[in-house]
Structure 1
Amino acid sequence: MYAIVAFPLVDFALRHAPGPLHLLGVVWDKVLLLVMVILACSRYIRGYRPQWFQWNRFAGWFILLGLGVTFAGMASLAVSVAGFKMDVYYMLFAFLIPFLVDREDVPKLLHAGAMLAILISIHGIYQYVTKAPVPRGWTDVGETVRSRVYSVLQSPNELGSYMALMTPLLAGLALYETDKWRKVIYAVGVPLCGLTMLLTFTRASWIALGIAVFIMAVLFERRLLIALVVFVAVLYFLPPIHHRISDLLSPVYWLKSSQSGRIFRWITAFDKMGSNPLFGIGTGRFGGAIASQSYGAIYSDNYYAKILAEMGLVGLTLFLTMHLALIRELFTKAIRGASGKVRYVFIGGTTGLIAMLIHNSMENVFEFAPNALAYFTYATLLLIWGVGKKSDNASVDADATTYDGGQV
């Protein structure tokens, strides 16, 4: 589980390592998943039955639909399978995590994830200070940016999304933590991660986090509106960031977007779906890395548009329902069922998850392995902590399994 939480760093290190270690970087997550399957089967055989969550049902239906759409495209089965894997692979980890993690384990894993996020943020700030090179495709025509940081996530857009996920979770941990030093570290980590997100110059992550904070402020914690006002003020008064926002509001930007940018890509996805509205044109055919490599197709720059084109209205409905069920369960059972300062962790974590979902409407965030795995991992950990059943020292070796003090 620590390897999963540290996935961005471990995956980057292994994939960029020399010699045999580089080969390990290609397969290590598959080996890890296999080990998790073996451990989960072992616990199941010995009588352990984890808590299942409502969103798992919709995820299962989405996976079954994906299988059907995949094998309907027999003419290019290899591409269809690769596209299907891209959509569902990291969900599989979420199905296995409840077998391996008990409620008392969750805080330790969240602490590890928080420390990793702080280290990545420090590296991102270092890149900005040292003027890391910016590829031409990362800036608009006529725009001058000192640098766009990316750290081990290798893309400003993906790093921005990761920081939008982790910054509010860190804030929640800072409010929850009782250990003096950890509390200070997390309190310092919040502005570090927030600054790194700004230095990615990824407008979509800023907008996504702002909307997510507003939603959570209205529903659960009005004091978050203060944080939102501060965030907006920073965006307005820092000249480079203000310039990026101003570009977004200009008529020229929207004209270019409709001709060859995001709006054009979204309309193209809708047109692709039109040939088979219910089930789409097949996995791996449009809008993502697999389609780009196989057919030279454009990116959709909207993960939901990609799902719509490839799996139709039925696929998009199941995909959205899955995520809405997950967020609803966090709302109704984790946040509203929590008492004390742990509630801040659930509010912060859920804010980050909503931000990543919103960001997916402007980027293909879930196509990037570290972010897809981070989303499903932290969502599952929060549900286990807030909703999951208690265990007695995670013991399953006895003849009976213990739930909430009673024997079954």
Structure 2
Amino acid sequence: MKIERLKYWSLVALAFFPIVDFLLRKVPFLGSVWDDLILVGLAALALGRYLAGDRFEQLPYHRILTGFILLGIAYLAIGLSTFTIDLEGFRAIYTYSFYAFILPFLIDKDLAGKLIRYSLYAGLIIGLHGVYQYITKAPMPPGWVDATETVRTRAYSIFGSPNIMGSYMIMMFPMAAGMAWASRSTKERLFFGFVAFITLAALLFTFTRGAWLALFVALTVTAALFNRRLLILILIGAVAALLIPQIQDRIFNLFDPLYWQKAARDGRIARWLTAYDAMRYNPFFGAGMGHFGGAVAARHFDIRYVDNYYMKTLAEMGLLGLSVMLALFGTVIRNLYTRIFKPLQARQEWPLLLGMFTSVLAVLVQNAVENVFEVPAMNFLFWFIVSLTVILTGSSEKEASQK
């Protein structure tokens, strides 16, 4: 019983990952290992379940993820001369993906629903903090906005970066909206509707164009797959947002030739081209994990972030690594689509599932303009939400297959 209670509270801590990580980072030693300790403990429990005969339904993305992990191990063997750095790079890329194999052994549908709620509670707390920062005009570095813009501040909360704050909110907002829609009681609909409102407001106050556009793309794709009439609502919402002067300035600034000149000289485009050049020295295998464009490379080689997780992967793991990664993410989306959309009408929680699908897709889109998965909380939450979505759809899938 004590082990079950410890498992439960460990999962709760993971649902509040950004907040727990922020607080524990202030504690010497514990802050850098707390998530590793939970991972090892939960992995041991999952292994015990496996040895006892338990199994879970493996989807195609599980098999591709296994291959991707084995590929990472092979890269470690290739880079023995810089093994320590490569191992750091391996951990940054792969650590949280192991939860895709661990969580199905430990979480049932009821617990999955609770953990989603806890994640949204964390989103509400962080979202409120972001709104508070905007209202109180929290100080920010001048480089976060161009001199010609009228943005007075950008919300960043505990992440210290408005771009990652935006990434977090594009995960929380669709789930909160879906939970509000799926809730049966008026009280819950009002509460989660409030969570959706706060997370959307916090997203807007980050003034992160990449997150805005990623959410727009994800909502558009989800609407097109589910009910194309919803595209009208999305378009109306986008137009309404453009009526806000600060948002209008941020979006229309993308069409300014000066913006692209700066991007090509010392901005994202320059960094992407640098990543491409780094790959050309070893097109198949890349420069090695942890050697370019991420946190590990910044620590060891003083190399700037690439601001594109896929270009960073191309530079570090070459065409082979990027191809397998893209195949993995594409299969994740296809598997979730199959489990959510085909039996959609029979699910009470279908609005929540649509929200979770949108969250996963939005973060994958934003990775094209930001190193989202370099942040432990975001990397973990991606695999957490993917796994919870699969768990929530598991019973219905089995029932459908038995008919």
Give TM class, smaller chain: over 0.9
Aligned residue number for residue 326 of structure 1: 332
Q: Are 2:383 and 1:353 equivalent residues in the alignment? A: no
| Aligned pairs for 1:3-402 within 5 A | 3-16=13-26, 21-338=27-344, 339-387=346-394
Q: Compute the displacement of 1:251 (Å).
A: 0.7
**Mapped partners of 2:233, 2:380: distance in 1:** 28
AA partner of residue 129 (structure 1): I
Aligned residue number for residue 6 of structure 2: none
**Mapped partners of 1:223, 1:151: distance in 2:** 35
Q: 1:278 to 1:231 in 2, by over 3 A?
A: same
TM-score in terms of structure 2 length: 0.92
Is the Cα–Cα contact under 8 Å of residues 269 and 300 in structure 1 kept in the other structure? yes
**Mapped partners of 1:149, 1:375: distance in 2:** 22
Is the Cα–Cα contact under 8 Å of residues 153 and 370 in structure 1 kept in the other structure? no
- Which deviations, in whole Å up to 9, do the C-alpha atoms of 1:133-165 show, x marking residues without a partner? 102332234444321111122211111011111
- Which deviations, in whole Å up to 9, do the C-alpha atoms of 1:3-27 show, x marking residues without a partner? 11110111111113xxxx3422121
Aligned residue number for residue 396 of structure 1: none
**Mapped partners of 1:260, 1:197: distance in 2:** 26
Is the Cα–Cα contact under 8 Å of residues 216 and 347 in structure 1 kept in the other structure? yes
**Mapped partners of 1:361, 1:210: distance in 2:** 14
Is the Cα–Cα contact under 8 Å of residues 73 and 282 in structure 1 kept in the other structure? yes
SS at match of 2:363: helix
- Which deviations, in whole Å up to 9, do the C-alpha atoms of 1:186-242 show, x marking residues without a partner? 112212111100100100000000011111111112243233123312331111111
SS at match of 1:387: helix
AA partner of residue 325 (structure 2): F
Is the Cα–Cα contact under 8 Å of residues 335 and 346 in structure 1 kept in the other structure? no
Q: 1:123 to 1:230 in 2, by over 3 A?
A: farther
SS at match of 2:155: coil
AA partner of residue 42 (structure 1): G
Q: Compute the displacement of 1:79 (Å).
A: 0.9
**Mapped partners of 2:396, 2:379: distance in 1:** 26
AA partner of residue 158 (structure 1): I
RMSD: 1.6
Q: Compute the displacement of 1:132 (Å).
A: 1.1
AA partner of residue 50 (structure 1): F
How many residues align structurally?
388
Is the Cα–Cα contact under 8 Å of residues 272 and 311 in structure 2 kept in the other structure? yes
Is the Cα–Cα contact under 8 Å of residues 150 and 249 in structure 2 kept in the other structure? no
- Which deviations, in whole Å up to 9, do the C-alpha atoms of 1:26-48 show, x marking residues without a partner? 21101101110111122112221
**Mapped partners of 1:63, 1:389: distance in 2:** 29
AA partner of residue 9 (structure 1): I
Structure that is richer in helix per residue: 2
**Mapped partners of 1:294, 1:126: distance in 2:** 36
- Which deviations, in whole Å up to 9, do the C-alpha atoms of 1:48-70 show, x marking residues without a partner? 11222211111111111112122
Aligned residue number for residue 2 of structure 1: 12
AA partner of residue 389 (structure 2): L
Q: Compute the displacement of 1:295 (Å).
A: 0.9
Q: Compute the displacement of 1:130 (Å).
A: 1.4
**Mapped partners of 1:340, 1:76: distance in 2:** 50
Q: Compute the displacement of 1:388 (Å).
A: 5.5
**Mapped partners of 2:76, 2:29: distance in 1:** 28
Q: Compute the displacement of 1:85 (Å).
A: 1.0
AA partner of residue 72 (structure 2): G
**Mapped partners of 1:362, 1:225: distance in 2:** 24
Is the Cα–Cα contact under 8 Å of residues 213 and 224 in structure 1 kept in the other structure? no
AA partner of residue 260 (structure 1): D
SS at match of 1:355: helix
- Structure 2 runs not aligned, ≥5 long: 1-10
Is the Cα–Cα contact under 8 Å of residues 175 and 341 in structure 1 kept in the other structure? no
Is the Cα–Cα contact under 8 Å of residues 334 and 387 in structure 1 kept in the other structure? no
Q: Compute the displacement of 1:98 (Å).
A: 0.6
- Structure 1 runs not aligned, ≥5 long: 391-402
Instruction: Give structure 1 regions of 4+ aligned residues with deviation exceeding 4 angstroms.
Output: none
SS at match of 1:330: helix
**Mapped partners of 1:311, 1:358: distance in 2:** 20
**Mapped partners of 1:75, 1:141: distance in 2:** 46
- Counting aligned pairs with the same residue, the percent is 38
Q: Compute the displacement of 1:284 (Å).
A: 0.8
Is the Cα–Cα contact under 8 Å of residues 286 and 310 in structure 1 kept in the other structure? yes
Is the Cα–Cα contact under 8 Å of residues 216 and 224 in structure 1 kept in the other structure? no
Q: Compute the displacement of 1:119 (Å).
A: 1.7
**Mapped partners of 1:225, 1:389: distance in 2:** 28
**Mapped partners of 2:111, 2:21: distance in 1:** 23
Q: Compute the displacement of 1:387 (Å).
A: 3.0
